[in-house]
A = this chain, B = another copy of it.
Amino acid sequence: MKSDMREERLRSRVRAISGFYQERGRMPSFSEIGEMAGFRSKNAVFKFVNKLERLKVLERDSKGRLIPGSIAAPVKMLGTVEAGFPSPAEEELADALSFDDLLIQNRESTFLLKVSGDSMSGAGILPGDMVIVDKGQTPKSGDIVIAEVDGAWTMKYLGKKGESVTLLPANPKYQPIRPKNELKIAGVVTAVVRKYR
């Protein structure tokens, strides 16, 4: 088929722009797009950009300047493990997303902590993992929180029953903590990230 070639050419051009944005953190100018895509005319770029806008690959902000559309997102979200390895056709349909957008709600109040100790290993949080902590959220019962109890910092489940508050480890080796004096909750664990290589 001939339209395959056209589509492939479009795709590779989008890949070039996407790569440009990923590498340099800014959108290419029209002339730069022209170079990458092999246009001699700026007008060709202009029409091309309009098409990409229609496809939501690119967008424009309120000032009319180019900003990334779907190309900003680095990975594609696909099915489940059982569904297994996706076909190229399925890949096209998948949403792309950025981990930064996915995992961070409020950038100012969020930070990262490295886990040491195995007191939460029953909850799938292992030593060496990173936890994303939001200090801006109100902790609810059942949340995993970073708390200061009697001078020491720990990560535990927060258990509230009426007025009384308990900190529960997710490992039977450790005891629940019923804070004697005051309990300072520094933040709520909103996500866990583990890197293998």
List chain A positions with a Cβ less than 8 A from chain B. 15, 22, 24-27, 32, 61, 63, 65-68, 72, 74-86, 91, 94, 97-100, 102-104, 107-108, 110-117, 121, 124-126, 129-132, 135, 137, 143-144, 146, 148, 152-155, 184, 186-197
Cβ contact within 8 Å between A26 and B66 = yes
Most chain B CB atoms below 10 A, which of A65, A100, A104, A143 = A100
Return chain B residues, CB-CB under 8 Å to A78. 111-113
Cβ contact within 8 Å between A195 and B186 = no
CB of A14, distance to nearest CB on chain B (Å): 12
Cα distance A26–B186 in the bound complex, in angstroms: 33
Return chain B residues, CB-CB under 8 Å to A22. 107
As for how many copies of this chain the complex holds, the number is 2
Cβ contact within 8 Å between B124 and A104 = no
Closest to A126 in B: B124
Cα distance A90–B120 in the bound complex, in angstroms: 26
Cα distance A27–B32 in the bound complex, in angstroms: 17
Cα distance A110–B196 in the bound complex, in angstroms: 14
Closest to A191 in B: B195
Cβ contact within 8 Å between B111 and A61 = no
A-B contact pairs, 6 of them (CB 8 A): A26-B67, A74-B104, A75-B104, A82-B117, A85-B184, A100-B100
CB of A47, distance to nearest CB on chain B (Å): 22
CB of A92, distance to nearest CB on chain B (Å): 12
Contact partner, A26, options B65, B84, B155, Cβ 8 Å: B65
Cβ contact within 8 Å between A194 and B195 = no
Closest to A108 in B: B15
Return chain B residues, CB-CB under 8 Å to A184. 85
Knowing A146-B85, A191-B193, A197-B190, say if A100 contacts B103 (CB, 8 Å).
no
Return chain B residues, CB-CB under 8 Å to A143. 196
